[in-house]
Structure 1
Amino acid sequence: MSGDSIEFDTVLDLCRDQHRRIVLAVLAEERRTLTVNDLSKVILKYNHQTPVTAASEAVLAEIRLALSHEHIPRLASAGVVEYDPERQHVVPTERFDQLQPSLFAIVDADPDLQRPVEL
């Protein structure tokens, strides 16, 4: 699957949700394995404009649940990440590199995000 090019409509679909845009942007910046907990904190920072210390456990749990059951599985089914649900690890794949030029254009167009999106 890594040899197949990603269709532009697929890239747009993956970037439709801001949580997925944040996940993809931070993976592009970090270029390493991240945990669902790491990604939850980044979403809290960029999407909710809330420091982790000020967030309730319920909000963090809701973000982790959405990532684990909706957003990360969608990215994994597109082949751009590998997801280990037991260890809660998310790893960018070789196919991930194919979406980066379009991803950066989309993130740059999002008025609520500024690159680099960092942990």
Structure 2
Amino acid sequence: MTATPHSESDCVDFVLAVLDELEGCDASAETVDDAFGLLAAQRRRLLLSVMRTYGESLTLPDAAEEVAVRETGCQVPNISAERVHEIYLSLYHDHLPRLVDAGLLEYDQERDLVVPIALE
């Protein structure tokens, strides 16, 4: 994954903004912890972003390509097939099951199709 530099003050500002939002939120501490756990991995955030952008079902290979584009900042022809395959496998084995269990996405394994259910 590519790392983007950020200043300490950017992080502080973001944390303070999140805390401000949480003050008006009715969610339990457990719910907040679960949500932050789901959002902790950049690849999960990217997959959720891809699914929100498209707003419709995508095959997991297509979603993996789009995550690769967003992760690397390169277009598909400039991303190795091995990189896309590695992303596909991590989505399939790790990130997608977590998001499905949380009720954010559905996955049709027979068709290898990711369905955005809670992102619409």
State the TM-score, normalized to the length of structure 1: 0.68
Distance between the aligned counterparts of 2:85 and 2:53, measured in 1? 24
In the other structure, the counterpart of 1:88 is: 112
Distance between the aligned counterparts of 2:80 and 2:49, measured in 1? 25
Q: 1:51 aligns with which of 61, 75, 85?
A: 75
In the other structure, the counterpart of 1:63 is: 87
Higher Cα radius of gyration:
2
Distance between the aligned counterparts of 2:74 and 2:68, measured in 1? 6
Per-residue CA deviation, residues 72-117 of structure 1 (Å, 9 max, x unaligned), is 1110111111111221111122xx24xx8xxxxxxxxxxxxxxxxx
* Seq. identity, %: 34
Number of residue-to-residue matches in the alignment: 92
Structure 2: segments with no counterpart, 5+ residues = 1-26
What is the Cα-based RMSD across aligned positions, in Å?
A: 2.0
State the TM-score, normalized to the length of structure 2: 0.68
Secondary structure, aligned partner of 2:115: strand
**Higher relative contact order at CA 8 Å, sep ≥6: structure 1 or structure 2?**
1
Runs of 4+ in 1 over 6 A off after TM superposition: none
Structure 1: segments with no counterpart, 5+ residues = 101-119
